[in-house]
Amino acid sequence: MKGKPLISFCNVSKIYDDKVVLKNLNLDIYKGEFVTVIGGSGSGKTTALKLINGLITPDDGKIIVDGKNLKDTNLIELRKNIGYVIQSIGLFPHMTVEKNISFVLDLNKNKKDNSLEKVKELMNTVQLEEELITRYPSQLSGGQKQRVGIARALASNPYILLMDEPFGAVDEITRHVLQDELLKIQKQLGITIFFITHDINEALKLGSKIIIMNDGKIEQIGTSDEIKCNPNSEFVKKLIAY
């Protein structure tokens, strides 16, 4: 899985109110990787995620996505190729499941018939029963809402999927089911995922590359086995022993 990186952070720093959130971050992410990022509050993980789709800009350094420096990129066009899933999901309460999922398709002026077929296909991908298509978010369980959120993020056929603690608000059983489904989807679609979590077990289970962050810096990068067998600092040792 080498070759040219899909996403590169090159000496990236970000400062908020005199607090350095990221310090000279250097990171390469390759096509098809499932990258999980874990660290405490204020470690810089969500900041790193938001830099990838240009929601925020670096104070120093550069972000390269698909060979292009983000400062020279049309961010509206970029975001059409990047899915985004957050913990609070952000479904439109006045829209049905169908309308929530097809929202991006409607923006891109897909024909109605094609849009409906695409919605059904996406619901099948995330293992969401088709009978739910006319329901509203208030009529769904937490796990069902999260599946709708993932389906919506996949609607534009993105090659990058950003996920900020997407399963943090669901119960433990549902969380494990959603993790398994996401692994299947990632393998099926070959999509590159940047996934933030507070759960070390989730990070180790999902990630083909695990990034441990602390105080705005990368503490360690590795596979699940590398992190568990060779923690390179006391911080990492404490984290995996939690």
Write the burial class of residue 132 (CB in 10 Å: 0-12 exposed, 13-18 middle, 19+ buried).
middle
In a domain, 152, yes or no: no
Strand pairing class (160-164; 192-197): parallel
pLDDT of res. 56: 94
- How wide is the angle at C-alpha 204 spanned by C-alphas 200 and 210, nearest 5°? 95
**What does pLDDT average to in each consecutive run of 10 residues of the chain (242 residues)?**
87 92 96 95 92 94 95 89 84 94 71 77 93 95 92 92 90 92 94 96 96 95 95 92 72
Q: 11-33 burial, b if ≥16 CB within 10 A, otherwise e?
A: ebbbeeeeeebbbebebbbbbbb
Question: Would you state the pLDDT for residue 105?
Answer: 76
pTM of the model: 0.92
Round to whole Å and give the CA distance between 230 and 219. Answer: 13
Task: Look up the domain containing 229 and give its range.
Answer: 1-75+195-242
Cβ burial of 50 (10 Å; 0-12, 13-18, 19+) is middle
**Which letter, b or e, does each residue of 208-237 get, where b requires 16 or more Cβ atoms within 10 Å of its Cβ?**
ebbbbbbebebbbbbebeebeeebeeebbe
Q: Compute the distance between CA of residue 61 and CA of residue 77 in angstroms, rounded to an integer.
A: 22
Domain membership flag for residue 107: no
Q: Is residue 221 part of a domain?
A: yes
Report how far residue 89's alpha carbon sits from residue 169's, in angstroms, rounded to the nearest whole number: 10
Burial (CB count <10 Å: 0-12, 13-18, 19+), residue 127: middle
Question: First-to-last CA distance in the chain?
Answer: 31
Amino acid found at 237: K
Specify if 101 maps to a domain: no
Task: Check if the beta carbon of residue 137 is closer than 8 Å to that of residue 145.
Answer: yes
Pick from 37, 65, 85: nearest CA to 181: 85
Q: Residue 6 belongs to a domain with what CATH number?
A: 3.40.50.300
Q: Could you give the number of structural domains in the chain?
A: 1
Closest-CA residue to 207 (of 32, 80, 23, 68): 32
Check residue 170 and report its DSSP letter: S
The answer to whether position 38 is within a domain reads yes
| pLDDT tens by residue, 96-112 | 999 999 987 766 555 55
44, part of any domain:
yes
Does 146 fall in a domain?
A: no
Quick check: is 80 in a domain?
Answer: no
Sheet strand arrangement including 19-29: 19-29, 7-16, 60-65, 68-69
Closest of 34, 33, 27, 86 to residue 52, by C-alpha: 27
